[in-house]
Structure 1
Amino acid sequence: MISFYKRYWRTAFDIALIVLTVYLFMLIFSYLYRIATPIFLALVIYAMIEPLARVLHRRGMRKSIASAISTLLFVLIILGALAGVVVIFTSQIMNLVSRINDYQAVFQAEIINRLSELNAQFQTLPPDVIAKAKDYAGQFAGKVSQFLVHLLSGMVNSLTSFSTFMFNFVVGIVLAYFLSIEIESWKKLAQDKTPNTFKNAYYFLKENVVKGITSYIKAQLKLISLTFIVVFVSLLVLNVNNAFSVSLLSAVFDVLPLLGVSTLFIPWIIYLFIVGNTTLAIWLSAVLLVVILVRQIMEPKITGESLGVSAFTTLAFMIISLSLFGVAGVILSPVLIILIKALYNQGYLQRWIRKPEDEYTEGSPPYTGP
């Protein structure tokens, strides 16, 4: 054991130092996100309004007027579309929540009927087993319905009780407008007063991380938009109720690594088969197959090397970040994944982490066991 520690303590220390740095960085970011949410929103809004404001300013318009026009268009188009989506989604989800008890009753009755038919056909199950099976089926249906009610109601509540979010959003719009006006002075101040070490770090992040994050976000938006369109059109053709909300939920699930649309569609298809709606279940299975095939065909072309990390690693890092740092951790986790990947590709991690002695000696004979 002592020889093991002697050999690996430098490597363990270097890795622990990097992990501690990442942890402290995320801790600071989560704290800043809680106390300065409007500022982070302002940076996102600024990135949306600045291209148009810059174009108008280059054509001779004063920057203040150009920024005002760009901000106004953002409020009218983006915020108007978002408000419409929230209203439609909320109304359809509330309608779905109100009918979950009916779906539960149908599901429970169908399970009981199937058990009774099997018992009448084979007559091999004791009566107490049949009674327990019916009881378990009822309990299972009740728990599933409660889970769905809590899940969907929680989503609706998070959308409808957004007074704090609206306050932060409005403040973020105002800050983004002033930032758009003053951006040149801020750039000049940063250029003159920032130490060279921080400038080099900024250029590294801009070149290796910001571009990766931008391409990653664009790729994900294209993929979820494609999923939404395919599911929405299919559900409209099948005349499924609440097609918009189901399609939006499918797009949200499609963002999650390793989960995807199957998380929503497979339980739905199983339920339809159990309750006897076989036709719709078959069509939904076909829709799910089409969505999976389209994503498998288009994902390599759209995403390319935007992230370059396995889905398991991404999801595991997101779960840990969510548990430790909340929403801020989920927001920052793709940034850190791309940063670590860039540091590895540029050779920084290899220089920062000292290898164990005599473990990677070139030309050493292969290990043959004890």
Structure 2
Amino acid sequence: MLTFYKRYARTAFDIGLIVLTVFLIMFVSSFLFDIAAPILVGYVIFLIIEPFARFLNRKGLGKTAATTISTLLFVLVVVSVVFLAGAIFVLQLQNLIALIPEYVAKFQEQVMNYVHWGQLQLNALPPDVLQKAQDFSLTLVEKASFMLTAFLNSVFAFVTSIPTLVINFIIGIVLAYFLSIEIDMWKRIAEKRTPNTFKSAYYFLKENVLSGIASYLKAQLKLITITFVLVLCGLWILRVDNAFTLALLSAFFDVLPLLGVSAIFVPWAIYLFAVGESSLAISLLILLAVVMLVRQIMEPKITGDSLGVSAFTILSFMIISLSLFGIAGVVLSPILLILIKALYDHGYLSKWIHLPSEEFQDRNDRS
């Protein structure tokens, strides 16, 4: 055992140092994510408005005027979409929350009918079986109702408590506007004042990480859009009420790791089977199968090698990051994975982690 520790002491130290560095990066990034949210929002808005502003500037328009037009166009599109979609979503979400007691009562009544039918079929059972079944069904329904109501209320609270998001968005627009006007000045300052070591690190990140992040985000946005459109069209065909809100919730669950659209459709289908609406339940399961099949076909084509990391690694890292750093960890984990993958591909990890050569000597000889 002592020989093992001596042999792998340097390797363990190198790995521990890298893990500590990753932890510190995630910790500092999550802290900055919390205290500098408007700046991050502003930078994202800048990335959106700057291409069109540069295009107008190349056509002969002044940079200030070009940035103003690009920013106003961005605000107009975002406000229109958010206002219309938000109004529909909030209204339909209120309807869903109001209908929960009716759905719960209907489900409980159906469960009790099954219990009574079972008692008639099995008269030999002890008389307290019915009471236990009633108590169990009541507890189950109450817990399910509480969880569903709590979830919908939390979503409703998030949607209706938008003032902070609106303030961050407004500040972000202002920051993005001035950054777009002053970007050439900041580039000149960075070119003159930045040490060569930091320049090399930036170029490495730009070529190997930032492009991967952009590809990853585009791929996820395309997949979410496909899920939303499929679910919305399917629910419209089935004439389901509140289809827009249900499609948005499905797209939201599609983003979350280990959940997906099944988290909504499977419990919904079970409920419909229980209350006797088997045709709609079967239709929803068919719609779920179509959505999952389309995703399985489209996902490899859309995502491609945007990350180059296995799904198990991504989900595991996201879960750990969520537990340690909250939502910021989930957002930052794909970025860090892309960075680690780039460092591995370029041979930096093999230089930084010293492995005992005698452990791999036979393998090298065979190769």
Query: TM class, shorter-chain normalised?
Result: over 0.9
The 2-side partners of 1:133 and 1:353 are apart by 60
Matching residue of 1:44: 44
Matching residue of 2:165: 165
Shift of 1:109: 1.3
The 2-side partners of 1:346 and 1:264 are apart by 42
The 2-side partners of 1:304 and 1:75 are apart by 32
Shift of 1:125: 2.5
**275-284 or 247-256, which moves further after superposition?**
247-256
**352-361 or 187-196, which moves further after superposition?**
352-361
The 1-side partners of 2:269 and 2:82 are apart by 30
The 2-side partners of 1:124 and 1:19 are apart by 63
**261-270 or 250-259, which moves further after superposition?**
250-259
Matching residue of 1:241: 241
**322-331 or 292-301, which moves further after superposition?**
322-331
Q: Is 1:309 paired with 2:273?
A: no
The 2-side partners of 1:52 and 1:364 are apart by 54
Q: Note if contact 1:269-1:284 (Cα within 8 Å) is conserved in structure 2.
A: yes
Q: Deviations over 1:309-342 (max 9, x none)?
A: 2223222222221222222212111100111111
The 2-side partners of 1:363 and 1:244 are apart by 58
The 2-side partners of 1:17 and 1:214 are apart by 29
Matching residue of 2:262: 262
**66-75 or 303-312, which moves further after superposition?**
303-312
Matching residue of 2:148: 148
Matching residue of 2:26: 26
Shift in alpha-carbon separation, 1:363–1:281, aligned structure 2, 3 A: closer
RMSD: 1.5
Aligned partner of residue 362 in structure 1, secondary structure: helix
Matching residue of 2:54: 54
**237-246 or 323-332, which moves further after superposition?**
323-332
**285-294 or 76-85, which moves further after superposition?**
76-85
The 1-side partners of 2:311 and 2:254 are apart by 12
Q: Report the residue type matching 1:346 in the other structure.
A: H
The 1-side partners of 2:137 and 2:226 are apart by 37
Q: How does 1:180-191 map to 2 (within 5 A)?
A: 180-191=180-191
Matching residue of 1:273: 273
Q: Note if contact 1:258-1:312 (Cα within 8 Å) is conserved in structure 2.
A: no
Matching residue of 2:198: 198
Q: Report the residue type matching 1:302 in the other structure.
A: I
Aligned partner of residue 125 in structure 1, secondary structure: coil
Shift of 1:347: 1.4
Q: How does 1:347-366 map to 2 (within 5 A)?
A: 347-363=347-363
Q: Tell me the TM-score normalised to structure 1 length.
A: 0.96
Q: Deviations over 1:237-273 (max 9, x none)?
A: 1110110011111111112333211111111111111
Q: Note if contact 1:71-1:177 (Cα within 8 Å) is conserved in structure 2.
A: yes
Q: Note if contact 1:258-1:311 (Cα within 8 Å) is conserved in structure 2.
A: no
Shift of 1:357: 4.9
Q: How does 1:81-120 map to 2 (within 5 A)?
A: 81-120=81-120
Count of residue correspondences: 366
The 1-side partners of 2:215 and 2:248 are apart by 22
Q: How does 1:310-349 map to 2 (within 5 A)?
A: 310-349=310-349
Aligned partner of residue 198 in structure 1, secondary structure: helix
Matching residue of 1:214: 214
The 1-side partners of 2:124 and 2:75 are apart by 68
Q: Deviations over 1:134-187 (max 9, x none)?
A: 211111111111111111111111121121221111010000000000001111
Q: Tell me the TM-score normalised to structure 2 length.
A: 0.96
Q: Report the residue type matching 2:224 in the other structure.
A: I
The 1-side partners of 2:364 and 2:129 are apart by 66
Q: Report the residue type matching 1:156 in the other structure.
A: F
